[in-house]
A and B are shown apart, each in its own frame.
Chain A
Amino acid sequence: MAESDSSAPRLAMIGIVCVSLFASLLVRLWYLQMIDTSSQQLLANGVNLRVVHTEGTRGRILDRNGKVLVDNRISIVVEIDRTRIKANSAVQRTNEFDDLAQVLTSFKFPTKGPVIQDRYDDKRYGPLELVPIQSDVTADVELYLAEHAERFPGVVVRRVAVRTYPYGKLAAHIVGYVGQINDKELANKEEQLGRANDPSRPKTDREHRTYAGGDEIGKSGVEATYESDLRGVPSDKTIQVDARGDYVRTVTEASPAGGDDVWLSIDIDLQALAEQRLGDRLSGLRNTVGKDGRPLNAPQGSVVILDPQNGSIMAMASFPTYDPSQLVNGIDSQLWDRLNDKSAGQPLFNWALQGTYAPGSTFKLFSGTAGLESGFLGTGSNVYQDGGSYKVTNCKGGKCEFRNSGGNRYGQVDISRALTVSSDVFFYWIGDQLWQGRDRFGEDAIQKVAATYGLGTATGVALPGEGDGRLPTPAMRREQNQKNPKAFPNSNWYAGDNLNTSIGQGDVLVTPLQLADAYATFANGGTRYQPLIVSKVTRPKDLGLDPRDPDNYELVRTEDPKVVGNVTYTGDHYQRLLTGLQGVVTNGSGTANSAWAANRTAWPMAGKTGTAQVNGKADTSVFVAFGPSPAAEPPKYAISVIIPESGFGADVSAPLAFGIMKDVSNNTVPATVSDADRARWDTAVAKALATAAANPTTTTTTVPPTVPGDTAPGQLPTSTVDPALTAPPAVDPTRTSLPR
């Protein structure tokens, strides 16, 4: 131990060094915290304020019975904030992207640097928008990127609430979808709110839901039209920064609040039934050939069911449909093209209100009303001898003779009989005579009446993109010709135009929603309601509680029925029209009688078939009805079905409508099961089976477990709903008994 002589003093020396080092630390600490006030002054003197923005969770969308159709879940997303790395060199960025791709790939989210680069360069994202790279990453990735933040200066990892759809594709067109606010929408919102950084306005009131880049906004459906209710209240935390822009302190802090829940007027069970039946019917039609030899493409179709007593939409099906969950984390251009592909029927379109079609003979209710209310049909008892064709009065050239479709002759017909058998000749007569007597009746007697039923203008339902349809008038034709003589060389309206209009041909176009609302107007005696898609808006007290219990929410407001017009009927005109429409279904010679006969247990309804001719294509099949009628009670349902390129109204749309209404009549609309309920149900069954298996004394008569909510398992096997659409549990009825 040669060094022993020197080791003791040297160790002591090291001790002294240690003591002095620790002492200097304590002295410096004392100085910084207790003596030096310059740092505190720096904190106090900073005057620049900045706002840090956090979004509130969006409200949910529920059906009329409180079933949650659109909910939220947490998704961890990796995004690029361009503003942070725009100053970096291209090489630095490429390195970062390659590094990020490598990390994501190692966590089983395979990607490549150039892919991230492409996203970064994608012009669809504005300069302030965050560019999504990977959504739904695991917490591992989040932690890794947080631990190595310095390596990824442009990367932002956020936990965001994203939309989830417990009922899958159901009601996709109605609920719509959300997406990141784009720069244009952002500018619009800023303008609407009139807030260019106005600090005097409170930042948290609900009327003042400010937007920032990267925020979510409703893009279509109720998500868009009820944006101001659904959107959560963002919190704007004000922080103080010094002259250099460095954080100094937090001035005000606020927590974001959730948005309000929106209750639809839709009944999801009925919606599921309508969507499934419509989809099945269209699939069955496609690639078949119609009676006239033309191919039935049936590219799209829609069913609208509303309550005639208040205009509430109970179901609105549009086919083809799409899966809104695919749009949750942004849409790539490939998917966007697919959703707007004309040859695929444009799945993103809500044909029930965006599609416009010739109404065909369903228009006869309106021309019939015009014939009666104009006084032309006298008290209503005027009859016409239908010999199968009609010759226009004083015809000078052009087409002078108009024939019944199929060349049928109906003999002597009055208005009721004409509606029941769908005599074209009778309505040609009305159209011609009203035109010939235009000095007395006015040149647009039919159109004026049709307009009181709501045709020619959008209904104003709270859904975006609604079509106006078209109600052509002589004045409209003159105007078009004046404005653009090349495109519209014809300025004259002829008798033949009036004849075509009277049977819903020519240029007349309606949306399925307009048609349903028009017949609902008739059904309730002439009060036209604006169709309602939302019944109320509520503010949940606790998202974990059952939304159906009124104790669990505050009512924000109800959307009350709104009367937007009236149709008046004098004398016994209403009864004559009603008799005619009832005969369509109940009379043996009615055009929809066979459709009802095939669904004998369905309520009788009053309605009208339509078969609209479209140039060069198969006919549009139309049916619209309300019911029960005749019945002691006022009708509770109005239904319209329009399917283009599918043949006769009596053959396609009418049977489809009766098929749906049969289940409504018999109260056998199958309960639709959400994914969550199905999972709970499966768990319950598995548990019961496990319990039973563990306890062999239990006999085979195990009672199936009940599921919370309204999905009693006993009902489930009776479900006829297509599993792909509504996802009911694939239940083998024998599963509820024990295996021996």
Chain B
Amino acid sequence: MITMPSGHKLRNRDMTAAWRHVDVTLLALVAATTIFGSIMVFSATRHSDSPYTFITKHVIYVIVGVAVMAVAAALDYQKLRDWSRLIYVGSVAALGAVLIPGVGSVHKNIRAWFDVGPFQIQPAEFAKIATIVTVASYLGSVLDRVGFREMFVSLVLLGLPMGLILLQPDLGTTLVFVVVGVGLMVVGGIPARYLIVLLLLGLGGVVGILKSNTLDQYQKDRLTSFVTPEKASEKAIYNTRQAQLAIASGSLTGKGLFDGPQTKGGFVPEQQTDFIFTVPGEELGFLGSGLLVVLLGGIVYRIWRTAQLARDPVGRLMCVGVLCMIVFHVFENVGMNLGIMPVTGIPLPFVSYGGSSTITTFAAMGLVMNVHMRRFA
């Protein structure tokens, strides 16, 4: 019997072919950075009576993250584009639900978590991915010239989750949306003149917010302690001082892994999350912490390269969104550890302890690999 090659079979071959184009370099960089990060988390948390509690949970988060990454890479991103409305509506609904007292739980004055057993899920983290997919799908699918209408729709798509997150109020995550939005609109083709007007409006808005009572005092403290250290609260100063002291004491080669006095003494606050960078800074010195920055830079380069290689604007914009998200996280987090950025609760991708952010980061990597794998399709 003669069988004609069916379209079905061809698609199947395409599916398997896609895996042959996986970005091995990116995969290797992600693996190296994650292992590096896990050792740092262990170093930061092992000086308690139950030294393996945090690292065990962290490894579980990474395993879940890798699974999510695989799924995000496997589904053709064209399908994701088709589903983007559903994804968007779902994530906005979750952001709305978390604001309801009794549904969302409050930690550190922010109502941002769903408590699920011993775990907390932060819908804002997943909303980042959802919004990137949605705005990228929208802007990338515009057939005509991108103009005012497209900019307006994009702003609405970005503004809705941002507004809900600002209500929690989580300033750091809101800023991630700002950066991601700017990147998507720049590469998405919004005319330069509109962008300049937006920039001016944004600056005015920031000044207005600082003058008004929208932000809690501690958030203002954190932001202003960067500009005017003498006015900042004791706590805000303490955090950054301890972080900088730890990093400065590292010098070229550091105090040795697991041997940092500040780390061992537990004197850097929230070291396993916001201030994780102080661990390589103190224990591994410039060589170790510089290597971490270079590894993260390598990941960013591969994302940027994937954006260049993408077969269509939707894929390119997805990569740009992820790129902006990762870059902002790295720069803000490492920057605040080094004292050149204000303190906001932004985790360091691939390194910081934390379930939602780890899984989100891996999901974002899955998205980039997805685009890379299907660049010839």
Residue positions of A touching B, CB distance < 8 A:
1-4, 6-8, 10-11, 13-15, 18, 21-22, 24-26, 28-30, 32-34, 36, 39-40, 42-43, 139-140, 142-144, 146, 148, 150-151, 159, 239, 246-250
Contacts and interface: CB of A to CB of B under 8 A. Distances in A.
Given A2-B142, A3-B146, A10-B187, A40 B248 contact: yes
A3 B189 contact: yes
Contact of A10 (B186, B262, B289, B297): B186
A359 to B, nearest CB: 54
A676 B335 CA distance: 56
The 8 closest A-B pairs by CB, nearest first: A3-B189, A39-B248, A247-B267, A159-B49, A33-B286, A22-B297, A2-B145, A28-B338
Contacts of B187: 3, 7, 10-11, 14
B318 interface: no
Interface stretch (B25-33, B157-165, B166-174, B236-244): B236-244
Given A1-B312, A7-B187, A29-B247, 11 more contacts: A4-B313, A14-B320, A18-B297, A28-B338, A28-B339, A29-B286, A29-B334, A139-B50, A143-B53, A146-B48, A246-B238
Nearest to A30: B286
A22 B262 contact: no
B247 A33 contact: yes
Given A11-B187, A30-B286, A34-B251, A18 B323 contact: yes
A43 B246 CA distance: 10
B245 A3 contact: no
Contacts of B145: 2
A139 B52 CA distance: 12
Contacts of A34: 251-252, 286
B300 interface: yes
Nearest to A36: B248
Given A25-B338, A32-B338, A250 B331 contact: no
21 contacts: A2-B144, A2-B146, A3-B142, A10-B189, A11-B320, A13-B186, A21-B331, A25-B293, A26-B290, A28-B339, A33-B248, A39-B245, A39-B249, A139-B50, A144-B118, A146-B48, A150-B108, A239-B265, A246-B242, A248-B245, A250-B264
Contacts of B241: 246
B261 interface: yes
Contacts of B245: 39, 42-43, 248
Contacts of B238: 246
Contacts of B293: 22, 25-26, 29
A25 B334 contact: yes
Contact of A32 (B183, B248, B320): B248
Nearest to B312: A1
Contact of B249 (A4, A11, A40, A143): A40
B219 interface: no
Most B CB atoms within 10 A — which of A32, A34, A40, A139? Answer: A32
B327 interface: yes
Contacts of A22: 293, 296-297, 300, 330-331
A75 to B, nearest CB: 12
A29 B284 CA distance: 12
Nearest to A6: B189
B118 A29 contact: no
B300 A18 contact: yes
Contact of B118 (A26, A140, A250): A140
A18 B304 contact: yes
A249 B261 contact: yes
B61 to A, nearest CB: 13
A217 to B, nearest CB: 23
Interface in B120-145: 139, 142-145
Contact of A33 (B53, B265, B285, B307): B285
Interface in B258-302: 261-262, 264-265, 267, 270, 281, 285-286, 289-290, 293-294, 296-297, 300-301
Contacts of A14: 183, 186-187, 304, 320, 323-324
A547 B265 CA distance: 35
A157 to B, nearest CB: 10
Contact of B308 (A1, A11, A247): A11
Interface string B52-64: 0100000000000
Nearest to A140: B118
A142 B50 contact: yes
Contacts of B267: 246-247
A3 B252 contact: no
Most buried by B among A36, A144, A248: A248
A655 to B, nearest CB: 54
Interface in B324-351: 324, 327, 330-331, 334-335, 338-340
B250 interface: yes
B316 A11 contact: yes
Contacts of A159: 49
Most buried by B among A10, A139, A144: A10
B193 interface: no
Contacts of A142: 50
A25 B335 contact: yes
Contacts of B296: 22
Nearest to B117: A140
Contacts of A28: 335, 338-340
Contacts of B340: 24, 28
